[in-house]
Homo-oligomer: A and B are copies of this chain.
């Protein structure tokens, strides 16, 4: 079986609390994590809550990264959901742990979209301007895009 996506659920306990409080700082870190693992950023949405804490998402061509912070508990929940062979989500884990000063991140990996068969699984192309070719065993062949 092949998985369409890899989903890393990251628990960051013991972070430096000041780093979890402000939306600009948290956004900078999650965008940096997306770049660190080689993702193609498509959109971002971040919000700061009252009295403090941030929620945010970086939508990538290869799925998404998300974060929710609780500075009062020195904790952040990070999700790194990626597809394809090019992206290295482990790099994003190391990056966020380092930037938030979390010494012992906990990571659970879940395979998403397990598909029977042995063919290479298609990877989406972000925009119509990009050239790409996808091949999926058991599914209709997708066209080459110019």
Q: How many copies does the complex hold?
A: 2
Q: Which of B45, B56, B70, B124 contacts A113 (CB 8 A)?
A: B70
Interface centre among A7, A49, A50, A73 (most CB of B within 10 A): A50
Measured CB to CB, the closest approach of chain B to A143, in angstroms, equals 6
Instruction: Confirm or deny: A25 has a beta carbon within 8 angstroms of a beta carbon on chain B.
Output: no
Cβ 8 A contact of A73, one of B53, B66, B125, B136: B136
Given the interface pairs A43-B47, A51-B145, A122-B72, the reply to whether A11 lies near B112 with Cβ below 8 Å is yes
| Minimum distance in angstroms from A11 CB to a CB of chain B | 7
A119-146 toward B: CB 8 Å interface, digit per residue (1/0)? 0001011111010101010011011010
Query: Is A4 a contact of B75 with CB atoms below 8 Å?
Result: yes
Chain B residues whose C-beta falls within 8 Å of the C-beta of A81 in the assembled complex: 66, 68, 77, 79
Check if A61 is an interface residue, CB within 8 A of chain B. yes
CB distance from A26 to the nearest CB of B (A): 13
